[in-house]
Amino acid sequence: MDNLQVSVAGGSGYAGGELLRLLTDHPGVEVQQVTSQQHVGHPVAQVHPNLRRRVRLNFSALVDLRPCDLLFLCLPHGESMGRVRELSNLAPKLVDLSADFRLHRADDYRRWYGVEHTAPDLLDRFVYGIPEWHRERIAASPWVSSAGCNATAAILALRPLYRAGVVDPGHTVVDIKAGTSEGGNRVSDSTHHPLRAHSLRSYKPTGHRHAAEVIQELGEGNPIPLHFTATATDQVRGVLATCHVFLREPLPEKEIWKIFRNAYGNEPFIRIVREREGLYRLPDPKLLWGTNYCDIGFERDPGSNRLVVISAIDNLVKGAAGQAVQAMNLMAGFDETAGLGFSGLHPV
């Protein structure tokens, strides 16, 4: 069978570079074009030096994209919605890594993003791209919207418990610690090294946009309260989600284990982590750098009905490019794990 011909629109950012890294090792894919308005004509490896002698393409302009089998959209937030109709003429399948089509309702987009959605009639055309919860729909859909990184970590941690009906949906607290690459590669005061180094800065105590995705996925159509906060660390990669939920009634730990095993026992990229001793008793994002894994652990508060669920991902892989490749695998009929076998490094 001929390789799947894919192109990347907007491939000069961190997510685009990570996507190219994964696609170069995919056994069934050939990267046809990579676009960047800022770097047209320059070698891709000039912007992504880790891809030297791996990707020999030069950046193309968006207007010069040729037809392909599947197109990844890594455009800045707000651009996909204005271009999706024309870009869909170039490829029968689209995977959008921006936030433009993650929410199902235009009213929710207006509330959380502060602008009107310019293609509201297309919102229901995109399947929300967390394969562990929407595998069949992703496989059958031509258009997929990849989930946000913070949202991915929180949803994977909490949805089994919500589905099982064992937690009080009115009292969920999600605390996110995120690496600097989450902010993208555009320079700003918040990324300037003297201002960012050694910092632990709460940048979104309330109102983080990814909370909208978590509410959508946990509520499954019913609005739920969610208390969501985000803190910036000076690590480059990684998201650690510490989620506090309250059990409706006391449950032994073996029952909580059973809920997670039933949800994720056969999932190739979910690992339930809770060791009784040692340094890595609970998830640690550092162990996941470069991988498509999500590690999930939990601990019950012995003095209350509080359950703390901790999840860790690499924001650029499981939180962006890796999850997009996982969706592509489903859409194209590949083995779901193809191109995503890297197990991480230790120590780093």
Distance CA 306, CA 324 (A): 34
Q: Domain of 220?
A: 149-313
Assess if residue 189 is contained within a domain. yes
What is residue 108's predicted lDDT score, i.e. its pLDDT? 96
201 and 87 belong to one structural domain? no
Residue 116: how many CB atoms within 10 A of its CB? 10
Closest by CA position to 52, among listed 17, 26, 14: 17
Assess if residue 339 is contained within a domain. no
Assess if residue 345 is contained within a domain. no
77 and 194 belong to one structural domain? no
117 and 237 belong to one structural domain? no
Closest by CA position to 102, among listed 19, 8, 217, 13: 217
Looking up residue 263, the CATH number of its domain turns out to be 3.30.360.10
Distance CA 342, CA 339 (A): 8
**Which residues of the chain fall below pLDDT 70?**
1, 185, 187, 190
What is residue 1's predicted lDDT score, i.e. its pLDDT? 59
Task: Say which residue the tokens 């193809």 belong to.
Answer: 338
Distance CA 48, CA 208 (A): 29
Looking up residue 66, the CATH number of its domain turns out to be 3.40.50.720
Helices (H), 114-178: 131-140, 149-164
What is residue 71's predicted lDDT score, i.e. its pLDDT? 98
Residue range 155-191, pLDDT digits in tens:
999 999 999 999 999 899 999 999 888 877 676 776 7
The helix (H) or strand (E) run that includes residue 70 is strand 70-73
Assess if residue 302 is contained within a domain. yes
Assess if residue 136 is contained within a domain. no
91 and 203 belong to one structural domain? no
Would you please indicate which residues are annotated as catalytic (active-site) residues? 149
Map residue 62 onto helix, strand or coil.
helix
Distance CA 223, CA 207 (A): 15
302 and 169 belong to one structural domain? yes
Residue range 35-73, pLDDT digits in tens:
999 999 999 999 999 999 999 999 999 999 999 999 999
Q: Which long-range contacts (CB under 8 A, 24 or more apart) does 51-58 make?
A: 51/17, 51/20, 51/21, 51/24, 54/21, 54/24, 55/20, 55/24, 55/31, 57/31, 57/33
Residue range 79-93, pLDDT digits in tens:
999 999 999 999 999
Q: Whole-prediction pTM value?
A: 0.96
Both tokens of residue 107?
């009213």
Assess if residue 138 is contained within a domain. no
What is residue 28's predicted lDDT score, i.e. its pLDDT? 98
Distance CA 215, CA 210 (A): 9
Both tokens of residue 92?
């029968």
174 and 243 belong to one structural domain? yes
What is residue 184's predicted lDDT score, i.e. its pLDDT? 76
319 CB-contact burial (10 Å; exposed 0-12 / middle 13-18 / buried 19+): buried
161 and 121 belong to one structural domain? no
178 and 240 belong to one structural domain? yes
244 and 97 belong to one structural domain? no
CB contact at 8 A, 251 and 166: yes
183 and 299 belong to one structural domain? yes
What is residue 187's predicted lDDT score, i.e. its pLDDT? 64
80 and 174 belong to one structural domain? no
Assess if residue 52 is contained within a domain. yes
Assess if residue 66 is contained within a domain. yes
Total domain count, the chain: 2
Map residue 112 onto helix, strand or coil.
helix
Residue 199: how many CB atoms within 10 A of its CB? 13
164 and 303 belong to one structural domain? yes
Distance CA 343, CA 31 (A): 23
**Count of alpha carbons within 13 angstroms of residue 108, beta-carbon side:** 20
Closest by CA position to 182, among listed 241, 240, 112, 239: 239
